[in-house]
Structure 1
Amino acid sequence: MGLFDRLFQRQGVVGIARDTIDFALESADDTHPNEYMGMLRGTPAKHLGMDQRGYVITDILVIPGTRSNPVSATVDSNMIPNDMRSLGSIHSHPNGVLRPSDEDLGTFTSGTVHVIMGAPYGRNDWRAFDQHGEYRDLPVLDVDLEDHEEFFDFTQADIDAELRRDK
């Protein structure tokens, strides 16, 4: 465990939420034949009612300005949030190969989990790797995730009130 992890008591990743990996596989299929790319974020397992330490991967952030084609995806690293919930990356290989390329290994420097999904993007068409490109176990967990739809539930009056608060 590095100094940063010890200082902030960062815990390991205990798994990925089933809804999260299902969302990622569906997104990769929708993006096919281009690569899909996102960043993994987590929620403390205790916040999900689990009796263990560590994080569960619950969110995938698609970074603004991400460009992709059938052989690569490029993310503007300045747009990637750097916080305690950032756990790694996820991307697809439209050719179906479930192992990191040399280019992938060069991007595995941030985070501890990197997921590669391969066509045809079925439930078992993905693998997790550590920052060195070594396979790692990543259990799929059936956890209840919060519904974030209320985030988009606002009116013009709510916007006006927020703008007045900022002045």
Structure 2
Amino acid sequence: MRLFRSREVVGIAADALDFALEASAETHPNEYMGLLRGEEARRVGVDRDGYVVTDVLIIPGTVSDPYSATVRNDLVPNDFHAVGSIHSHPNGVLRPSDADLDTFGSGRVHIIIGSPYGPDDWEAFDQSGEVRDLDVLDADLSDPESFFDFTQDDIDAELDR
């Protein structure tokens, strides 16, 4: 039995990638930027060791134009599930710039999405900016609407803890 699970990111949930592709297209001609969150693969129905990217976090106050996107670091949540970053290049270039590499210090995977934002218009990189494999996986993600599925009794029970 292994005491520690792999912190390797083994893939991205298809739904998370679809969200990022759509958000990139909607943000065009400006760059899009978000942070990646992951869950243990087995928790989302993937029979592999490691983590699967399950969410793309949009950080308030992110500023973007056709050439760059900047996240306000003071608004980034302290999140143990953070695994990397994702951003778009409206010019379609699927390789990191020097400025991109400066942001790759945190996280194990960084994704660049290029125009025209189709299913194959993206590339994954490691912290050094080297291309890395990242499988697109069918993962059992919770329904985002379930976040709002609670009653006053649930709130009262939580407050009584």
Task: Using structure 2 for the length normalisation, give the TM-score.
Answer: 0.89
> Which consecutive aligned stretches of 4+ in structure 1 deviate over 6 angstroms post-superposition?
none
Letter in 2 for 1:87: V
Q: Identity percentage over the alignment?
A: 63
Structure 1: gaps of 5 or more residues: 1-7
CA spacing shift, 1:71–1:30, aligned 2, 3 Å = same
The corresponding residue for 2:26 is: 30
Letter in 2 for 1:119: S
Letter in 2 for 1:136: R
Judge conservation of contact 1:10–1:84 (CA < 8 Å) in 2.
no
Return the offset for 1:77: 1.1
CA spacing shift, 1:9–1:77, aligned 2, 3 Å = farther
Q: Aligned partners of 1:51, 1:135: CA distance in 2, in Å?
A: 24
Q: Aligned partners of 1:42, 1:57: CA distance in 2, in Å?
A: 4
Structure 2: gaps of 5 or more residues: none
Q: Aligned partners of 2:6, 2:101: CA distance in 1, in Å?
A: 23
Describe how 1:1-167 pairs up with structure 2 within 5 A. Answer: 11-153=7-149, 165=159
Partner SS, residue 135 of structure 1: coil
Return the offset for 1:154: 5.8
Number of residue-to-residue matches in the alignment: 158
